[in-house]
Amino acid sequence: MTIMTSCDGYISARSIANIRDRSAEQYDNERKLKSSLCVAKKPIDPQIYLMNMLIEYANVNIHSLSYSEEYYIPNTDENIQAYTLDIVSAVRRDDLDTLKRFKEAGRNFQCRNKVGESLIHIACRRGSTEVVRFLIETGCSIRVKDDCGRTPFHDALWLARPNFDLIALLIHHDAKLLLAKDNRGFYPFAYAPRDHSGDWIRFLKQKRTQICSNILQ
């Protein structure tokens, strides 16, 4: 910007005022631009994306897709008694050989502790895809929730790094649980770290047809 000066070489008061006005305007415009860029860069919430995806796919009322207590496997005294240290430790160690021996012995893999935590909850929280696969193949249902209302999806999405194979496995067996809220009203994707929102959006795009058809069937 060229600054006009008076004939004696000094900047006039009027010129200084113009410079100040332009600087203030320029600063305000830059601030607005930065603010708009921050809004644009804010990651999309994967849960909101999922909801919109379902609405676009079949024009359904998402709030009508709620699940009663009967949808879930109830906890029983038998399951609580079967929840022992040896079987829990095998799941935590990803020890499939020991788990297979327990299967041959007829052990109860649908076991849960007194607060409703199941073996599948533990395996999902650890990101142990093959253990979850094994448990499902033995007949374990993923329609379980603990006393806080958390399903296996809540625990699987809580991982620091996305485990797409694990979530794909759970979706294959019961995608409806993606819409299950915990006792605080949080959907599973609310547990996913925000810095991986873009990764989950891409995953949902890839699985769009499978997810929507499974939830709405």
Tens digit of each residue's pLDDT, the chain (217 residues): 444 444 444 445 555 455 455 555 565 655 554 554 444 456 689 999 999 999 999 887 776 666 788 899 999 999 999 999 999 999 999 999 999 999 999 999 999 999 999 999 999 999 999 999 999 999 999 999 999 999 999 999 999 999 999 999 999 999 999 999 999 999 999 999 999 999 999 999 999 999 999 998 8
Tokens of 181: 């809220």
Note the pLDDT of residue 155: 98
How many angstroms separate the Cα of 7 from the Cα of each of 16, 20, 53? 15, 21, 68
Residues 6+ apart with CB under 8 A from 183: 147, 148, 149
pLDDT given for residue 69 in this prediction: 84
Question: Which residues pair with residue 112 across a beta bridge?
Answer: 118
Within 13 Å of residue 88, how many CA atoms lie on the same side as its CB?
A: 14
Q: What is the 3-state secondary structure (H, E, C) of the chain?
A: CCCCCCCCCCCCHHHHHHHHHHHHHHHHHHHHHHHHHHHHHCCCCHHHHHHHHHHHHHCCCHHHCCCCHHHCCCCCHHHHHHCCHHHHHHHHCCCHHHHHHHHHCCCCCCCECCCCCEHHHHHHHHCCHHHHHHHHHCCCCCCCCCCCCCCHHHHHHCCCCCCHHHHHHHHHHHHHHHHCCCCCCCCHHHHCCHHHHHHHHHHHHHCHHHHHHHHHC
Cα–Cα distance measured from residue 55 to residue 91, given in angstroms and rounded to the nearest whole number = 38
What pTM was estimated for this model as a whole?
0.79
Q: Check residue 5 and give its pLDDT.
A: 43
Q: How far apart are CA 166 and CA 122, in angstroms?
A: 13
Q: What is the pLDDT of residue 68?
A: 80
Strand pairing partners for 23? Answer: none
Q: Give the pLDDT score at 211.
A: 95
Cα–chain center distance at 100: 30
pLDDT of residue 58: 83
